[in-house]
Structure formats: structure tokens, C-alpha cells
Amino acid sequence: MERPAYEEFLALLLAGVAKLKCGDPLDETVDVGPLIRESDALRVEEWVAEAAAGGATVQCGGKRVPGTAILEPTVLTGTRPGMKVSCEEVFGPVVTVAPYDDFSAALAEVNDSAYGLQAGLFTRDANRIFEAFDALEVGGLMVGEVSTFRMDHMPYGGVKDSGMGREGVRYAMEEMTEPRLLTMHLR
């Protein structure tokens, strides 16, 4: 988050997260459902606790609903690049928020990772959009949308340790198909 907008954005984000309802994903009023397994929720909860022990601030959430795979939506500030919540793929309802002063340096920090699934960028500045698209080592850049956005007709997938190939009906079919060629020159 660009430093001049950081405090206002953080306040708005926390207000929005406070309104999220956790529970059964079959309930249409629920915003945040369980992780795949309880062990995944425990792992994410441990990573959040580890970040807090290392100096990060848990602005909200961070606790698992006992006996379930549901983790409260979590917002962390004051994280450092080496913390698992910053440099590993959390795959849970956790977001880190940090201010930056130099956009190019912020892009370089994103790239300083073994992973590169997708990135979300919120700006109307076309120069920044193209700079990010050129610089970021990710499978997709979502402008004006969160990094988890996907539609089945779009290619979805990452680079580096975030996987090989692309999902989406057409792209998955291509990945799972062995093209063959037969040529015949009959006379």
C-alpha cells in the first residue's frame, strides 16, 4: 500500500473484514468457509502466531474456530519478508498489509519469492499497470481485483514454485492432451 494511503486503507480494510461471517459455505450468508482440512487451518494459525511472535501485529482474526478447519479472516501488519505469511503460499484467509515508498522496490519485493501464482494491483495509473505487468514474475496480474480472481475460460496458474501449466477448461485440456501428427504423402 502506498504510504500516503496506508492508514486510511487499513482502517477501511479492517472495517470490511469485521463484517465477514465465517461458517458453513452452503449457507449463502457466509463469506469465509473452512480450509480443506483441519490440519491446514492449524498450519495457517501457527504461521500467524509465528509472525506475531516475530514482531508482526495481528490487526484482526488469527484464531481458528475450535474443532473446525475455519480460521477467522486475519489482517497482519508489521510483517517482514522472511516470515512464512509473507514468503510462502498461505492458502488461507490471511492478508498482510505494508506501506511502500517506491513502487519499483515494492515490485522487486514481490518477486523476491520462490512463488508467483497471481498478483492483484489496485491503481488507475496505466504506467504503473504496465510496469507491474512487465516486472512481476507471476502467472497473472489482476488490476482492480484481488489476486485470487479467476474465471474458467481464462488461463489460471503460476510460475516459479507456484506450479506448471494453466487451469481453465481449454488450458487444462491442452495440458492433458498429447498432440499427435500424421502426415501421408500418397502417390
pLDDT tens, residue by residue, 146-174: 877 777 667 767 777 777 667 677 777 77
Tell how far CA 37 is from the center of its chain.
19
Which pLDDT does position 182 carry in this prediction?
75
Q: What is the mean pLDDT of residues 88-106?
A: 96
Contacts of 133 (CB under 8 A, 6+ apart): 141
Q: CATH says 102-179 is which class?
A: alpha beta
Calculate ∠ Cα 108-12-112, nearest 5°: 15
- Report the topology of domain 1-100: Aldehyde Dehydrogenase; Chain A, domain 2 (3.40.309)
Going by pLDDT thresholds of 50, 70 and 90, the confidence category of residue 30 is very high
Which pLDDT does position 173 carry in this prediction?
76
Q: Tell me how far apart the alpha carbons of residues 185 and 124 are, in angstroms, rounded to a whole number.
A: 56
> Are the folds of 1-100 and 102-179 the same?
yes
Q: Tell me how far apart the alpha carbons of residues 36 and 18 are, in angstroms, rounded to a whole number.
A: 23
Domain extent listing, the chain:
1-100, 102-179
For β-strands 74-77 and 94-97, DSSP reports them as parallel
Which pLDDT does position 2 carry in this prediction?
92
Q: pLDDT of 105-117, one tens digit each? A: 999 999 999 988 8
Of all residues in the chain, what percent carry a pLDDT higher than 90? 70
Contacts of 108 (CB under 8 A, 6+ apart): 135
Q: Tell me how far apart the alpha carbons of residues 184 and 166 are, in angstroms, rounded to a whole number.
A: 33
Q: What is the mean pLDDT of residues 21-48?
A: 96
- What are the C-alpha distances in Å from 9 to residues 6, 36, 97, 124, 168? 5, 30, 9, 16, 33
The whole-model pTM stands at 0.82
Q: pLDDT of 125-147, one tens digit each? A: 999 999 999 999 998 899 998 87
Q: pLDDT of 63-89, one tens digit each? A: 999 889 999 999 999 999 899 999 899
Which pLDDT does position 157 carry in this prediction?
74
Write out the three cell numbers for 98: 505494508
